[in-house]
Structure 1
């Protein structure tokens, strides 16, 4: 081949290589951009799902009409679909009307038998049962109800006013006017307590159901209520019929235990002002009280060990209404929110748990005298002093969430103090979801910490020995074997950890503790003994193969610790180390705990850290270590002074990638822990991580519900945490690379 042909061939080869380089560059760049684009899509999709959580509430006018009654409303309500309203006036005239135009569907007069209405009490928003205190000492009980039917596939809502205990009124205090009233009705008993001339009167009707006919009969008994040192103006009965709240006009209160019929607590609800409103929140545990100075307080009963009674009424939160007192205060039927409206029509929407004012709006309806909210909290009904009714559409999808509620301690009902709690569901309809990310984030970091505590030393030390000291022939077998561990499904590791490792550790606790102490000691003793053997004998084991000698040592130490576990437990812990930990030291023990997770997840993380770190150490140019040895340094000095600094960016990357794997691990944590969202650093207690929580609950949530979007927010928090860790890791890695890159 001539010289010109050689040059032509070389030129063609260079051009083809440039083409291939261009194709490779374009492909790799496009792949990288595609990965970044996919990550951005995930980021924006998560934002799309969680943004509605933090949208403000809104309200807009719907319809206005006039009522047919000239008397002021005593009670306003709406049915489930917010299509039909119910109004009861102060003269006992009840009417159902269409909320779209105000047309009356049905109306009737209550059977008052000539008596006048002096007081009104609502049992609960959910039951729709109400009682009227009459001027002759009697109490009439009624309930507005709605039947839904579908004739010709058209929905028809038929309202009806029912009398569950008959149209005959109950006698509470003969010939004494019932000025204030409280009622509680459940499956066991009906309790009515009234105020007449500053005195409490109460009766209980115990329900007895016939086994054959299922007919319910009432057995009446009088309540022996204690004498009070205040003038009562309001009475409310808790739904469990244990607590009676007696409130005075000046804000004084007395908490009465109806079971013992004694005063349990006393005090004042506010420092100044007069009591204007008092209502129960959903469930009847929290009491809302409003003063005419514009403050609304939330109170509920908590345990108090310092009191002889053991209970007290505790102030929990307060809400301020800038324009003074409220003309009406209503609570949501299915959430812990409430609505307050001033006499001038200034509406305030609050949510108690998140301690937020969600909306403040002037409705421009004139002087207000009655207010109602629909069961779904999507419509507001207001009556003004001129008898006009106005309805408003309310949009308030996710009031439970705020950054404070997610990350700070929250005082939930029936809890003795504020706490971090995650409890998204329960069997009770009155349950309040508790969405605290603090125990989930703590559990995530706890699981990652214990996993890295076990995995990082073993993986890094193993990588150092394999890359720097191990014989090449043995390295070619050991490295692929360890990397093969990474292919083991984590669900298998979680299954083994939960069903085998956790019971094994619980049964052999002394062996586990002694193993952590005796295994290093046994290895060091063997190394010392080996160094004392004659050199002629030690030469039979070539350099780089000594690690095989430790295999039987490790096995013997492990077997010895397990065999001695039962005798040690009898000698030192009276035969039960778990009870000794709990009773003598005060360390609680759960079978599926952080120790199990650390071992199982460490086993899963070790291959990742080992592989990357071993490659980084092995890739250090040999001339650096050879030069160090030639200058008189020992192999360990060369390792510490030359090899490790040069490989430090790769080792740091291995640790960060391993930590990312530990933080995002799902199945091992899910199966090997009690999966309880608690904040306890105890290694013998379980935890719940963000990733495991998402895996457990996402399949059981209602789409677009608050719970559903909170889980997406948890995924977003996990995403941002991983992003922050990776960013810091890359920054540190680049600085290490620049610092030691000149070696």
Structure 2
């Protein structure tokens, strides 16, 4: 018998159809690779664009100020002879820095063009007969008010005003003088008014004047007759006690209670409303040298004192432990050793400028403790300087010449210390972290500390993760490792579906339902947290004692479903008995007991509410990723461990969890990122108060919520607007750094346990 050799069938892999298929497959591979690469690069580019855009909006905050001669048609305005004659007592300008005003010791009030000094309008003050001008006191730069003192003891209050009109479509500014207390001088005393201090409200004026030999206080009440419309005034005068120092200048606080009297180097603080009449409460050594200037900062709460040592110090009143007011030195500004010649105060910010005898101009901000500019603007010693209302221009007078400077200083109130360190704000007893970006008055001192917002962000994320992490990870472990597939196919999608619930709905429910419920059932919440775990363990122990014939009636793996009614019944039972427990242990009111006994305050919308609501939001994210990581552990690892005699729990803790640890860690970082960046829940479920308190029963404000609340209200390009972008940049960098560190840890865990 012979066997014929038959050859195997030949398959042609190079047929036209096969070639076309391979080309088409290669094309699809290239398209897929290109699409994935383009998508990945696009994500990176988008993140970089966000980074650089935030940086673009933030960088102007930290730019130094600039000063230069005023530019007109791209040409610098040179100095010009000061208009009028005599010595300058008062120098200022109107809002647009187009018209200047100069008051001389000859009684002239000159309105002039700030660019060339040409006189627009001139008025002469009526000086009482046989007297002369002996002093001038600025009442308020923002209100454009000043007072002139005469040698016969009279004073005249004047306000320069500007009216804008638009004939033929062009703006015309018309200056004028207003006399708030009438054109007739007011008799204050019999001494020449070399010293003068004035403060007022709408209806009450206090005028204090005199010389180094004595001072007199005059109180004027202004009332309008409702029937006739006539203005009626009543005047009351009294002599003030001696201060035992050679007074050089007076400052009267806007509250008309405190009077400051500056001597050569000392300062007397006088309480005009003391029970026993005006009396000196403090005599302070205000400077190691000689006081050269002494002015009130915007708002009338703080005083700046300059000396011949080149230093400027800020002082304001603070209550001490005995509730007495003490005039306290808060901070000091120094830029050189030359004597300070003059100070000028910003009209709308807590800033000032100083010029020393060497012609060096320095711009400061008190809140930020920042020297924004140091520049030599004149040669030699200047006579005086004066800010424009918008702080964008400045007059400098020297040797009969007047110069107009253009100033670019947009964000002087921002510094590292103002953003991240404690700041001693006016009216506060000590330095604090405060975020308060707006107020009802123009004298407000903005408080831009980002510390309360960063603290609130971490606090909200901490409590959310504290609640959500154990539940999510333990649930994922049971679902992936112990739960039967039939139940897993129902439980996992249901939990993942929770992630689709809008956070605004969660915040709405947390703020309007959960917060009041927890306030009324605070004791019940704690009883539930204590009793439910005990009930679960007790049920598990009891279920293990049930005879097998009854236990096996439940399909294998479905016995976990029996815990649902246990949890529900345990919760209802805890809430029902909580009133009795609260009455026995806490006198019927747990919140009041905590406040009185533990000194723990309670706010209805607090971190506990946020922790529950935001924990509910991050649980699906952490659960899903963790469950996938555990379920993806190769089965042969767990089977091999069990075959070697390990228990299921040992296999879980020593084999499965270490292998899945990179994925579990990634889940935690993604969940934390979700918690840090959450906006609507913390916005609606907290008091939204920027405080630094780790108390779980107090609220907070997060960076994200603050941005959402305040961006629509901020002026584009303002300091407030750019600081909100800085908050977004901080949030972006925090997320970037945390994710980078998380990736490094994840790679380390993968390398360590990848060989299992």
If the length of structure 2 is used for normalisation, what is the TM-score? 0.96
User: Aligned ranges for residues 308-707 of structure 1 at < 5 Å?
Assistant: 310-364=324-378, 366-385=380-399, 387-707=400-720
Equivalent residue number for residue 204 of structure 1:
219
Query: Equivalents in 2 of 1:436, 1:257: separation in Å?
Result: 36
Q: Tell me which moved more, 687-696 or 233-242.
A: 233-242
Equivalent residue number for residue 3 of structure 1:
10
* Residue 576 of structure 1, CA deviation: 1.5
Query: Equivalents in 1 of 2:230, 2:665: separation in Å?
Result: 76
* Residue 535 of structure 1, CA deviation: 2.6
Equivalent residue number for residue 89 of structure 1:
104
* Residue 401 of structure 1, CA deviation: 0.5
1:298 is the counterpart of 2:314: yes
Query: Equivalents in 2 of 1:588, 1:229: separation in Å?
Result: 50
Equivalent residue number for residue 68 of structure 2:
60
Is there any run of 5+ residues in structure 1 with no aligned partner, and where?
none
Query: Equivalents in 2 of 1:224, 1:538: separation in Å?
Result: 100
1:735 is the counterpart of 2:748: yes
Residue by residue over 1:494-522, the C-alpha shift from the partner in whole angstroms, topping out at 9 and shown as x without a partner, is: 00000000000000011111111111111
Residue by residue over 1:92-123, the C-alpha shift from the partner in whole angstroms, topping out at 9 and shown as x without a partner, is: 11100001111100112211124211111011
* Residue 212 of structure 1, CA deviation: 3.2
1:235 is the counterpart of 2:250: yes
- Out of 21, 25, 44, the position equivalent to 1:17 is 25
* Residue 366 of structure 1, CA deviation: 4.4
Query: Equivalents in 2 of 1:164, 1:603: separation in Å?
Result: 64
- Out of 147, 163, 175, the position equivalent to 2:163 is 147
Secondary structure, aligned partner of 1:305: coil
Query: Equivalents in 2 of 1:255, 1:731: separation in Å?
Result: 64
Equivalent residue number for residue 127 of structure 2:
112
Q: Tell me which moved more, 133-142 or 726-735.
A: 133-142
User: Aligned ranges for residues 115-130 of structure 1 at < 5 Å?
Assistant: 115-130=131-146
Query: Equivalents in 2 of 1:214, 1:341: separation in Å?
Result: 48
* Residue 342 of structure 1, CA deviation: 1.6
Task: Please provide the CA RMSD for this pair.
Answer: 1.6
Contact 1:66/1:102 (8 A) holds in 2: yes
Secondary structure, aligned partner of 2:248: strand
Residue by residue over 1:322-355, the C-alpha shift from the partner in whole angstroms, topping out at 9 and shown as x without a partner, is: 1422221110000010011123321111110000
Is there any run of 5+ residues in structure 2 with no aligned partner, and where?
1-7, 71-76
Query: Equivalents in 2 of 1:574, 1:257: separation in Å?
Result: 50
Contact 1:345/1:364 (8 A) holds in 2: yes
- Out of 177, 180, 183, the position equivalent to 1:161 is 177
1:718 is the counterpart of 2:731: yes
If the length of structure 1 is used for normalisation, what is the TM-score? 0.97
Residue by residue over 1:381-404, the C-alpha shift from the partner in whole angstroms, topping out at 9 and shown as x without a partner, is: 01112x111101000000110111
Q: Tell me which moved more, 56-65 or 211-220.
A: 211-220
Query: Equivalents in 1 of 2:556, 2:683: separation in Å?
Result: 44
Contact 1:195/1:232 (8 A) holds in 2: no
Say if 1:131 and 1:286 are closer, same or farther in 2 by CA, change over 3 A. same
Contact 1:251/1:273 (8 A) holds in 2: no
Q: How many residues are treated as equivalent by the alignment?
A: 739
Contact 1:373/1:379 (8 A) holds in 2: yes
Equivalent residue number for residue 282 of structure 1:
298
Query: Equivalents in 1 of 2:574, 2:138: separation in Å?
Result: 69
- Out of 132, 135, 140, the position equivalent to 2:151 is 135
Residue by residue over 1:21-61, the C-alpha shift from the partner in whole angstroms, topping out at 9 and shown as x without a partner, is: 22111110110000000000000100111111111100001
Query: Equivalents in 1 of 2:493, 2:83: separation in Å?
Result: 87
Contact 1:265/1:313 (8 A) holds in 2: no
Residue by residue over 1:647-672, the C-alpha shift from the partner in whole angstroms, topping out at 9 and shown as x without a partner, is: 00000000000000000000000000
Residue by residue over 1:200-253, the C-alpha shift from the partner in whole angstroms, topping out at 9 and shown as x without a partner, is: 211110122222344332111124534423332221111121211122222232
Q: Tell me which moved more, 211-220 or 710-719.
A: 211-220
* Residue 14 of structure 1, CA deviation: 4.1
Query: Equivalents in 1 of 2:317, 2:281: separation in Å?
Result: 10
1:185 is the counterpart of 2:193: no
Contact 1:365/1:390 (8 A) holds in 2: no
Contact 2:200/2:254 (8 A) holds in 1: yes
Residue by residue over 1:404-439, the C-alpha shift from the partner in whole angstroms, topping out at 9 and shown as x without a partner, is: 110000000101110000000111111111100000
Query: Equivalents in 1 of 2:640, 2:207: separation in Å?
Result: 96
Structure 1 stretches of at least 4 aligned residues deviating more than 6 Å after TM superposition: none
Say if 1:75 and 1:163 are closer, same or farther in 2 by CA, change over 3 A. same
Query: Equivalents in 2 of 1:732, 1:257: separation in Å?
Result: 67
Equivalent residue number for residue 217 of structure 1:
232
* Residue 371 of structure 1, CA deviation: 1.3
